[in-house]
Amino acid sequence: MTVMTEQFPDDVREGKVRPVFHILSVRLDPRQSSEFADRATALIENTVAGLEGFVEGRVFEADDGKAVILITAWQTRHAWAEAHWNERVQELLAAYAESGAAFIDTMCYGRAKVVAKT
């Protein structure tokens, strides 16, 4: 795995490669949310999962159908950034832009703690 520490200096911290978690929250017309969630899930399963540095992806659709949240985990921020050059990823982003949906939030987080029931 190549780590581009000059472009993404946070890829390595204290000598350790840092994972990144990207959260994309999208506001949609409730008539579009299921289709968007299905397309996002298919893209993750069929394309993103095969990209270098991908760890995990999850898609959540709000109960009221007005929002979809995509959470992806990557080995590094560089791996996440590289995914945006994938043609299928660009197609989904273009379709999203054309749909009139609105970004609620998009952010990368360098650290996550998971608490599970013991």
pLDDT tens-digit profile, the chain (118 residues): 444 445 555 666 677 777 888 888 888 889 988 988 998 899 899 999 999 999 999 999 999 999 999 999 988 888 888 888 888 888 777 777 776 677 776 777 776 677 878 8
Does 58 map to a domain?
yes
Does 115 map to a domain?
no
The pTM assigned to this predicted structure is 0.77
Does 86 map to a domain?
yes
Q: Which domain holds residue 64?
A: 33-109
CA distances from 40 to 33, 79, 98 (A): 10, 18, 15
Does 5 map to a domain?
no
Does 51 map to a domain?
yes
13-49: burial string, b at 16+ Cβ within 10 Å, e else: eeeeebbbbbbbbbebeeebbeebbebbbebbeebbe
Does 94 map to a domain?
yes
Q: What is the pLDDT of residue 111?
A: 67
Chain centroid to Cα 39, Å, comes to 13
Q: What is the pLDDT of residue 10?
A: 62
Tokens of 110: 């360098």
For residue 85, give the CATH number of its domain: 3.30.70.100
Does 114 map to a domain?
no
- How many folded domains does the chain comprise? 1
Does 12 map to a domain?
no
